[in-house]
Chain A
Amino acid sequence: MKIIACIKQVPDSEAKVKAEGGQVTWGDAPLVINPFDEYAVEGALQQKEAVGGTVTALCIGPESAREALKHALAMGADEAILVSDPALTEIDSVAAARVLAAAIKKVGDADMIVFGRQTLDNGSGLTTAQVARVLGLPLLGLAGQIKVEEGSVRVERVIEEGRVTVSARMPVVLSVVQSIGEPRYPSFMGIRKASKANIPVWSLADLGVEAPATVVKRTELMNPPVDETKVEMITGETPEAIAEALVEKILAEKVL
């Protein structure tokens, strides 16, 4: 089975991200593989182990995004491909989906294409469904469990209302959620292999496509209003006294 795991590189979750001079900045915080995409790589590796095959990690990004792909390789992916082109710096999700779809076709013969549920940067969570739509493939979104049998994939889709069992014939496009299982740590051998890996870079010309139109554009960046209120500590002799004082404060807020 040929599996493609699509990943992105984002600033580390601990980073102090700010709007500064019309740009998003994160100081010297490291760029890492999008945490949700680690689950995508994990899900892909689980399926490789269950039914055999290969895992290709695929990423759109600048040269620096190689590091995210190396993380996927160190986890156990067999190969990695970076799609990089100056025309791809400010693209919307539909444009990204069209480029990814072209790259997935160029990789060729994929049976399963796995995404994380969303990215930490833009966070729109649209790309998976859009790649499925562009490729005309079935979408199995928000999978918490994946089972492959006889050319079909059955997933437990985790939504707010519960779990829905959904199946489709391969090839399929999937997104995974955390219940898939904690992403494995890169092994020492994996890290060594990744550091030596040759990661090809594909431009739009290599994919044979023009830069797709981008219609969603940012017009302004802002820092969220800072909450100036300092915490007011509630104390009392007994739990009952504390509760009485706290309830009075909460009721005075008129939020109930």
Chain B
Amino acid sequence: MKTFVYVDHFKGEIQPASWEAIGLGKTLGSVSAVVFGSGVDDVVKAAFEYGADEVFVADDPALADFRAEPYASTFSALASAQSPDLILFPITARTRELAAMSAVDLNTGVLTDISAVEMEGDKLVATRPIYEGKVLEKTVCSAKPVMASIRPRFFPKPERDESKSGTATKVEVKSEALTTVEGYSASEAAVNLGDAPVIVSGGRGVSNNPSLTPPDGMDEKDAEVWRAHQGFALIGELANVLGGAVGASRAAVDGGYIPYAHQVGQTGKVVTPDLYIACGISGAIQHLVGMRNSKVVVAINKDADAPIFTQARYGVVGDLFKIVPALTAEFKKKLGK
């Protein structure tokens, strides 16, 4: 099978699931990586090192910022000319739009958010979650090329071999653009929950530390947010020691404790880390659907009846403001940090 893998990056920062897609493609046959952007030599080099047999590159100032229209037109023209059997994408906001548009151009379909594949004869059958992961479906695409986007951390990442290199083939750029990118701010600090092996999350309980006295002159709401910030600082320290990311429940986001980018759940990010530690999160269904496929779940909550404990392997009924710092100290000791 001839597979194309689109290597997604944001300003040169590569989405690691791109390499997982190369790994998956290699199990099915040959892999050609596709790299778009401006000044992307390093991305091309990495694609060879992660095992791409060849690399197609469109390196052009017109592609400096991701814009769905020129990216899709360039991609569709390349795919038409090269006729791959399968095109894999790491799932991101960008690739969702790119794959969607190219599927229209190429008269095919996209199997999104897939977590497993199997071959039935020469037909690729993909498994994906539907209804917020309450049900799984197996799905096929009867047109060619089959397009599929993979969920991060479901397929093994190949070893990087820095001795591998190659010469990329240049792709003709279709630069017609319908939108203008005017600016970028990383204000909602880069949070990559999808790829994080460990996530420590906080909920409404994070603002409930009665032993803290907010600075004078704060009204009730400001004091609550101030308390929550102190609570999330503790959660951040634990995440830091574990090399993980900070997540949050919707209640914490709605309360203004932490930006939306951290939200885990049905209306936030669906995550599957190896370790998920829920602190002060009661476990509304909308949160549970976002984290219940994590490998090991630990819940810390004052309320022994909180639904979060139904999803946890280990539970602690107690005060997160005491337990979390103790955990941080203990992990530091045991992990030698």
Contact = CB atoms under 8 A, between A and B. Distances in A.
Nearest to B189: A162
B97 A141 contact: yes
A161 B10 contact: yes
B178 A137 contact: yes
Nearest to A216: B109
Interface in A190-244: 213-224, 227, 229, 231-235, 238-240, 242-244
A165 B135 contact: no
Contact of A215 (B129, B141, B242, B327): B141
Given A130-B100, A160-B194, A164-B65, 8 more contacts: A120-B266, A129-B96, A138-B69, A158-B261, A221-B135, A224-B134, A247-B327, A250-B298
Q: Label chain B's interface by main secondary structure.
A: mixed
15 contacts: A93-B110, A125-B96, A126-B99, A129-B96, A139-B97, A139-B101, A162-B187, A162-B190, A164-B65, A164-B183, A167-B182, A227-B292, A232-B313, A235-B317, A243-B330
A243 B112 contact: no
Q: Label chain A's interface by main secondary structure.
A: mixed
A76 interface: no
Which 6 residue pairs are nearest across A and B when measured between Cβ atoms? A138-B178, A243-B326, A129-B100, A216-B109, A255-B274, A162-B186
Contacts of A218: 137-139
Contacts of A164: 65, 181, 183-184
Interface residues of A, number: 83
Interface in B88-125: 92-94, 96-97, 99-101, 103-105, 107-113, 125
B100 A215 contact: no
Interface residues of B, number: 98
Interface of B: 10-11, 13, 65, 67-69, 72, 92-94, 96-97, 99-101, 103-105, 107-113, 125, 127, 129-143, 178-194, 197-198, 242, 260-261, 266-267, 274-275, 285-286, 292-293, 295-296, 298-299, 309-319, 322-323, 325-327, 329-331, 334-335
Interface stretch (A14-22, A48-56, A65-73, A104-112): A14-22
Given A94-B104, A166-B182, A231 B129 contact: no
Nearest to A19: B135
Contact of B109 (A93, A137, A222, A249): A93
Contact of B330 (A159, A167, A244): A244
A222 to B, nearest CB: 5
A187 interface: no
A216 B108 CA distance: 8
Given A166-B180, A223-B135, A256-B274, A13 B327 contact: no
A61 interface: no
B134 A18 contact: yes
